[in-house]
A and B are shown apart, each in its own frame.
Chain A
Amino acid sequence: MAEPKCSQPKFLLRFGSLDTVKPKCFLLHCFEGAEKTVMGMPEVSQDLSSEMEVDAFRRLFPLRFFERHFVESVRPDARPLGKARDTVVNLGLVASADGSALAKIGSTTMLAAIRMEVMTPYKDSPEEGCIAVEFHMPPICSPIVRPGRPAEAAPVIAKRLSDTILSSGMVDLKELCLVKGKAAWMAYLDIYCLDADGALFDAALLSAVAAFSNLEIPVVALNNDGKIVTVTEEEEEEEDAAAMPEKEVVNKEKRKLKLANIPFSLTCILHKNYILADPTAEEESIMDTLVTVVLDMSDQIVSIYKAGGTFLAYSSAIKGCVELARQRAKELNQILGEMDID
């Protein structure tokens, strides 16, 4: 009796296929006239039973599934070990915000929006404005996040982002000053995670940086009561008449911030002797040793963050991560540069 023409799952034989459509019912393998021909390999005919195990194998023995890929220096989504996923950045999507950006690294999607408000500066820094970072993980992003119960990771990522942005010196807070001691800008940066598929910090930092580069500071004027009001395009800019007799135009047009030392981050997984760049959520759930390296364009380390994990990080592993982060910083700088950002 002739062997039924079966559809062989292509990912078994073509290693690391990008074809993510997995045939669900392996048992229905009598496709009439299927264009999916049997690959001409002798072992194929008896591998019908092991075919359906690939999906099950991935679920039951995830670590072994991944390790068998690492031996071939590749990952299940066909990426080489040190390569990050495709990255896309779009600017200016939220019209009501003063600056906004959407960053996608693979499937991980982050939407960042900045809103500027005038406030009185703190007494010990009268010439500086302020940046408040908030990171939200709404239930849409991941099945683990439920409404009413904020994700554990959210305040931690918010704090790390805030620390990174402030300590890297990307935004000179003095540029956010309006009137010394009396008025300064407070930038409320809100980042929404729309899809949490691993490497959340990297995507969030990228979206924050892109939003700052898209930011246009609104035009304001000092009115007679000494209060700052926003100016629409028709009104003219005025300075406080008592301080400066002639009209000095400060914010003639909406100005952009000058960004120095932009930080770029890369998260890596350490597993035995392998270093995997830019993990997906599946990889993060199986292998728990993550190292996040944040570099700026002058090759300085803004942050090396490793929190526990099964494997210890020796100098060679850290050096490997820093090297991968360097390459990634160049890639990201190019992506941002393509959008006419300095």
Chain B
Amino acid sequence: MSMDIDREDGRAPNQLRPLACSRNILHRAHGSASWSQGDTKVLVAVYGPKAGTKRNENPEKACFEVIWKPKTGQIGKVEREYEMVLKKTLQSICVLTVNPNTTTSVIVQVVHDDGSLLPCAVNAACAALVEAGIPMKHLAVAICCCLADNGYAILDPNKIEEQKMKAFACLVFPNSILSVLPEGSSLVEGEPAEHGIITSTTYGVMSVEDYFLCVERGQAASASLSAFFRKNFQQSQRDPSKP
């Protein structure tokens, strides 16, 4: 059962594209980051917290506003959906009670879309929020997982793979925990805490088992993505001369 899928760029099914994250690139924004996975690149700027919340929002909590700018074309329903998913994801990872009655604006600019766009944006938004110093409970680590017709799951598809596959799922997990406590002491319902799903959007028809296979692959990948985040944040900490 170890028949490999042939991916165009020669990657293994579990292999992610090369990741790159630069932070603090827009100097006027309170926090900014650009995140790229292969050719997909997203730039996120965070402004806030600013005083006041919008109408119909709870003034006892901090509020988030997401603006999604596509690379080309007018803003339509696709962008509105991305905005809503990203807003709800960020609301769930941030500590909303620290700065009540404030609005934080997150502006997402798509620089290039080569598949796995939403996960790229979530990761970039997380890095930008950290840069801006917004209080968070944990990071949101996002990954896209595709299902081929023969039931194999591949991670981090590019645009061509996304269109060929019968279904794909975009999953967001909390980052993995580096803990001094013994392993297994922080289990929730028998699963490690970082296996909980923050956000899940799927497209295409798949069976229940296929979905859980995607979740499992996503959980494994989120561990390596978390390690990348951690390394990236620690690097700039050690170098005080960096602006």
Residues of A within 8 A of B (CB): 144, 152-153, 155-156, 158-160, 162-163, 167-169, 261, 288, 296, 299-316, 318, 322
Is A304's CB under 8 angstroms from B88's CB? no
Least CB distance, B174 to chain A, in whole angstroms = 7
Partner of B84, one of A152, A303, A310, A312: A152
Checking A159, A299, A313, A316 against B81 with a beta-carbon cut-off of 8 angstroms, the contacting residue is: A159
CB contact between B188 and one of A155, A301, A314 (< 8 Å): that residue: A314
Inter-subunit contact A301/B208 (CB<8 Å) = yes
Chain A residues closer than 8 Å to B215, beta-carbon distance: 315, 318
Q: How large is the interface on B (under 10, 10 to 19, 20 to 34, 35 or more residues)?
A: 35 or more
8 closest Cβ pairs, A-B complex: A312-B196, A308-B88, A308-B92, A307-B88, A159-B77, A155-B80, A155-B77, A313-B197
Is there contact, CB below 8 Å, between B89 and A308? yes
Q: Is there an interface contact between B205 and A315, defined as CB atoms closer than 8 Å?
A: no
Which residues of chain B from 198 to 215 have any CB-CB distance to chain A below 8 Å in the complex?
Answer: 198-208, 210-212, 215
Q: Write out the residue numbers on chain A whose beta carbons fall within 8 Å of the beta carbon of B191.
A: 314-315
Contact B208 A307 (CB under 8 A): no
For the complex formed, measure the closest distance between the CB of B144 and the CB atoms of chain A, giving whole angstroms. 14
CA distance A311 to B56 in the complex (A): 22
Chain A contacts for B109, CB-based, 8 A: none
Q: Which residues of A contact B202 (CB under 8 A)?
A: 301, 303-305
Interface flag for B90 (CB, 8 Å) = yes
Against A, the Cβ 8 Å flags (1 = close, 0 = not) of B79-98 are 01100110111111100000
Q: Please give, as numbers and ranges, the residues of chain A lying within 8 Å of B87 by CB-CB distance.
A: 308
What are 8 pairs between A and B in contact, CB < 8 Å? A152-B80, A168-B205, A306-B199, A306-B201, A308-B93, A313-B200, A315-B212, A316-B189
Residue among A299, A302, A308 facing the most chain B CB atoms (10 A cut-off): A308
- With a cutoff of 8 Å between Cβ atoms, the chain B residues found around residue A306 in the complex are 197-201
